[in-house]
Structure 1
């Protein structure tokens, strides 16, 4: 254990955060600001992508330890904290199951039902079916031939093939033929997913048609509060869905989606804490792609801060730390103060950065808020095939939707033309 892991866990209270990566990296510092809590990090995997690991702010924690099993880990946490910790939160997707085990062990407002169904997308769709909620026709395949045979029998026009525990669009393939299904399976079976687990099963589903939304919610004792919505724009690159933009949507515009997500959360047993649900709005109504029992990843919560009347981060903390405060804040329904758009930048090929023109090209836009593109000449970037390999973001914010849409189109056009970053073939 590193020296930083054995610092004194002093303070007025102890908060344990399981896998504080991505957007979960903001929780410890905010918990200190709002509630004076010291935080302990529980890290569940040593095989996460470097880009995800780099988001962990070790300096915000008084201690850290590696997850072993629920009893060993609980004892280690209690030794650090001088007893049972005061509060517990899941920081990111890889930690969902470990978090569930610890919450149940300590009796800290645990979620109900099988924890595996909150990560395994095959089990997740089955829970929806059993609860009478709209779900996607699907099949669990343990080998390529099983996947191809199901697709051949299904009569569907298009398919989605992905690992059962996929996140950040890792390993997701859109297929329009049996040959493409076969090729996708051959790329997946035998490799590791983003959390470092060997892929031995894949989920095959119908590819749904319709606009895609993401819905963020926080629950307390079975009562869900939908905080915000975004609409995704995606493109397909070599059969993989690649994010291009995420635009804010007023929650009040889609009561049908709110009602459906509440049904989904109940079916999955997500009764406490945050959830991040992605769905397609089909002609028959919303249908879930997947739900994560954690906050929206990446910049999502920060975009909510910039646009909404409510804070995703603060409500997540309140649901676990200050339930009376949570109930007070959620008496008022959320509304948009201004629109935001996150533009996802995409590299058509990997290589060496020759020039980065993102900031100089975008900062004078009327709606420019910030960007995350710090690449310098000589840096290496990967070809964009999923969310993790997007080389950066440009975030726009404006009260005028016309100005916002105009600037979004401008940024994405520059990116498609290769005008924002110049990349030379790697050596």
Structure 2
């Protein structure tokens, strides 16, 4: 039961950028409570999750019904997901408590990737062709019928690049099934079947939003530079903030807002990944939570841009004020160029030395390097689920300066002048 008159917000599985939401809410005088949807914290985030920033750790309260019974006594003002892990649990609990959340009857479209694309397609939006497949043989039949490579194989109930394989021939399909079928995925679900899709060509983008009562505010739009990781997956190399007034941004936003309606997203944060195909925007997937990529407040502030977490905190504390910028628009205002740069690792290795990271300060647009690795840390082939090596932020008024600094960054990285690495041999890998 609340006794201090402050708003109480329960954050379910506040991993990754959930830390930024806690910071923003705490700064607004909100009491933040952490709730786990599982008995144990997922191992992939357990070492970097800090529960001490919360006013109270509720731990794991059991099933959805058990959590609802326990939370009734606390009378929270909101129950929200702090990461992809907590989306379904948070929405069911919020609905059971009668608190604002997304449309519960469409919850499968927000968790199941296949259902997600089908829901968007039914609403007349451009999507990939797809099919559920229980075996590699079914996938081969679909690919032969599709008659165009590449195709994409992925788990239905995961997120990010987990289990995603871009297949250029039938052998890649076999590899994808060997890697993912009948295995537990990143979000703790069991892959008893996979899905196969046509490949969406064109540059990739991210549109982040915050919604309240069915009204949507676009907090930031990014173009993502991806690279292919050996083995068929892909990983982001950098993200560039876009001016929302550009035609490409307007097209992406219009599509995204229509997709949010199709998916029943009415309250909270959402993170949509899209391709700009030759025919126009098409959805890859939408997560009904904060963007999982780096969202550090200081470099955003240097660029004159509130973070998505800040906008979300506004929605949870200040009501409808979140739905308009100072200019009365439903999008942010672009002020300075902002780029996030991620390290690219193509093999497993050990960090021998980090002295070279001091070079970054010589870049005119360098703002900061967050969550850097120390000597002795392990790195391995990159994916877009975790950003090993940390994130480097470049902020500047001149986009050409940022382009030059990004080229210099990659030159230093390729020459081993930032992180000095010692490759891990197969024998060493087996031992560890």
TM-score normalised according to structure 2 size: 0.90
Indicate if the aligned counterparts of 2:217 and 2:324 stay in contact, CA closer than 8 A.
no
Is 1:29 the counterpart of 2:23? The answer is yes
Partner of 1:339: 337
Aligned length: 417
Q: Which whole-Å CA distance do the structure 2 matches of 1:203 and 1:231 have between them?
A: 26
Deviations for 1:196-235, whole angstroms, at most 9, x for unmatched residues? 2221121211111111000011112212111210000011
Indicate if the aligned counterparts of 1:307 and 1:337 stay in contact, CA closer than 8 A.
yes
Is 1:55 the counterpart of 2:49? The answer is yes
- Please state how far the C-alpha of 1:87 moved relative to its aligned partner: 2.0
Change (3 A) 1:9 1:400: farther
Change (3 A) 1:273 1:211: same
Indicate if the aligned counterparts of 2:275 and 2:281 stay in contact, CA closer than 8 A.
yes
Indicate if the aligned counterparts of 1:18 and 1:44 stay in contact, CA closer than 8 A.
yes
* Match runs of 1:271-290 below 5 Å: 271-290=266-285
* Match runs of 1:20-419 below 5 Å: 20-34=14-28, 36-45=29-38, 46=40, 48-51=42-45, 54-79=48-73, 81=74, 84-112=75-103, 113-238=105-230, 239-253=232-246, 254-300=249-295, 302=297, 304-327=300-323, 329=325, 331-332=328-329, 333-372=331-370, 374-388=372-386, 390-419=388-417
- Please state how far the C-alpha of 1:268 moved relative to its aligned partner: 0.2
Q: Which whole-Å CA distance do the structure 2 matches of 1:139 and 1:416 have between them?
A: 40
Q: Which whole-Å CA distance do the structure 2 matches of 1:227 and 1:242 have between them?
A: 23
Partner of 2:13: 19
Q: Secondary structure at the match of 1:375?
A: coil
Change (3 A) 1:48 1:264: same
TM-score normalised according to structure 1 size: 0.91
Q: Over aligned residue pairs, what C-alpha RMSD do you find?
A: 2.2
Which stretch has the larger CA shift, 273-282 or 25-34? 25-34
Where structure 2 has 5 or more consecutive residues not aligned to the other structure, the ranges are none
Change (3 A) 1:425 1:90: same
Which stretch has the larger CA shift, 111-120 or 274-283? 111-120
Deviations for 1:11-66, whole angstroms, at most 9, x for unmatched residues? 623111111111111222321211x2211111113262334652344332323221
Change (3 A) 1:407 1:399: same
Which stretch has the larger CA shift, 317-326 or 398-407? 317-326
Change (3 A) 1:251 1:304: farther
Where structure 1 has 5 or more consecutive residues not aligned to the other structure, the ranges are 1-7
Deviations for 1:226-268, whole angstroms, at most 9, x for unmatched residues? 1210000011112110111111111111211111111100000
Q: Which whole-Å CA distance do the structure 1 matches of 2:3 and 2:351 have between them?
A: 43
